[in-house]
A and B are shown apart, each in its own frame.
Chain A
Amino acid sequence: MQGGLHTKHRTMAVPGASLVPILLLGLGIRLAAAHSPAGVECILFNEEYMTCTWGSGQTLTANYSLYYWYENRSPVAECKQYLWERGVRTGCRFEQSEIIQFQPFHVRVNASQDGRILEIPSNRMELQNLVKPEAPVNLTIRNMSSNQLQLTWSSPYPKAHCLEHVVKYKSNKDTSWMKQEVKGDIFSFPSVDYEKFYTFYVRSKINNYCGSTQLWSEWSVPVFWGSNTTSKGRSSPEPPGSPRHPHTVLTVSPWLFAGMAEEQLQWFWIHTVLIPIASCLLLLVLVVLLVRMERVWVIIMPRIPNPNKNFDDLFITHNGDFQEWVGVPKDVVESFKPNYSESICHVSELPYEPLQDSIHPPGVPGPQEHGPYKNSYVGA
């Protein structure tokens, strides 16, 4: 009996003991599922500040702390400025000085409640892919020639070369919006119907050259164009003070939906047509100048000497007589003839006759003249 009693007690204790881990497990699941955020979402607003949020105050009840670090760069730091909702931390705000792009960014959120801490890690983030630019501003419509509209705008985002845009428009007669991607900040609308009333919106995104993101900005404040005389069929309400430009009637051409960025077209023509043609023309001009500029041409193509003119005298004046042209004496010319004979030239010496007044004393011989055939001596 006693053994049976113990057995009964043991049997009664087991269900109670097995309930405790089940209860604890259920509490943990409840903490994890109901009070932990689904994930941490970070967004860089116009590269001015960033917010990382993990839920809303309606679903969260625990005490959250956020820690962040950049890979291989900085120590782990805690959030300095939390975002609050209904007394619960729901996010963290980072100032511009705390944001480093193109460095892997890590975030860890700790949720603590009733002494228990649940760590919520996040994936590695690249902040340049989380940029959300501000909506474009100053939308302006200009009426260009040939019934063409030109929509321009500016962006508060500091790096215009990193942006791409989408223009959304429709008329009061259309049922759906048309969207057109634009690389620059000008949108050309080829032809408009002046009887219609158009509405234009623009939004921006970081392009692929500066990041890999799908975060579009909010739509801009709309701009309107056209005649608002017919109110039937107008789908978009007209806010007060919006610009309106009533014009004469024109028919709508099929190119209404083929608007393209005017700036992109201009650059295309400059790069592919104007520059090559200008380069070829410049090259042609330089070649012509080179040919005509004799001073330079002579250096590149020196003249072949032509001695023809130097021998004009020989052939024309002297009839090919080289010796005469050179100036050889005639007797030298004669001497080269084979039958040349030279006559003997006799040379004689005249006798010496001294003077009557003896200039010279006796016994002193006077000057003597020596000749080849006679030799006389005059003495006292």
Chain B
Amino acid sequence: MNASMLSYILLSCVLLSVQAHNCQVREIIRNTKSLLNKTEESWSCRETAATPCSCLPIPEPGHELACFVEGTNHMMEHNMTTDNRLFLLNQSFQIQLDRNLCESLTSGKECKYKTKGTVKTFLEKILKTYQEIHKSRV
């Protein structure tokens, strides 16, 4: 293997590393924390029979990503906030679910939940899930 071939291999590795996504744990934690810091009044959620505030799935173990995708989709569809971080979170969850990027999260494709929660409990569940991943990293 001569020097020029080695250069080609190195370039391929560099390009692949740029293209590849990772689990983006820190970014998700930051965005979730920012959304949680918003006051509750800023969430457009009025409790009615038709539009309950406890409307977001709190996932069972093994179905976190699917429920996070579903929950953030629901928040965007109902215009619960105009904060772009919600869109970024939704995108991250969707990509991680499609590509199995988070080894720590077994990606069950279907959202399974026992209970539904408010925006606050839903975001806290996201935060806790990814804090656990980050803490377990060496």
Contacts and interface: CB of A to CB of B under 8 A. Distances in A.
Contacts of A286: 7-8, 11
Interface of A: 101-102, 126, 128, 159, 161-162, 208-212, 279, 282-283, 285-286, 289, 293
B88 interface: no
Contact of A283 (B11, B33, B135): B11
B29 to A, nearest CB: 5
Given A209-B25, A282-B10, A159 B127 contact: no
Contact of B7 (A159, A209, A210, A285): A285
Interface in B7-32: 7-8, 10-11, 14, 18, 25-26, 29-30
Contact of A211 (B10, B25, B26, B135): B135
Contacts of B10: 282
A302 B120 CA distance: 63
A98 B137 CA distance: 22
Contacts of A212: 127, 131
B99 interface: no
B69 to A, nearest CB: 21
A94 B127 CA distance: 26
Interface residues of B, number: 19
Given A126-B128, A209-B29, A279 B135 contact: no
B48 interface: no
8 tightest A-B contacts by CB?
A210-B135, A102-B132, A209-B134, A289-B4, A286-B11, A286-B7, A209-B29, A208-B33
A102 B11 contact: no
Nearest to B32: A208
A210 B134 contact: yes
B135 A159 contact: yes
Contacts of B14: 279, 282
A101 B128 CA distance: 10
Contacts of A285: 7
Contacts of B29: 208-209
Which residue of A209, A285, A289 has the most chain B CB atoms within 10 A of its CB atom? A209
Interface in B66-109: none
Interface in B47-72: none
Nearest to A279: B14
Nearest to A278: B14
B11 A128 contact: no
Interface in B104-138: 127-128, 131-132, 134-135, 137
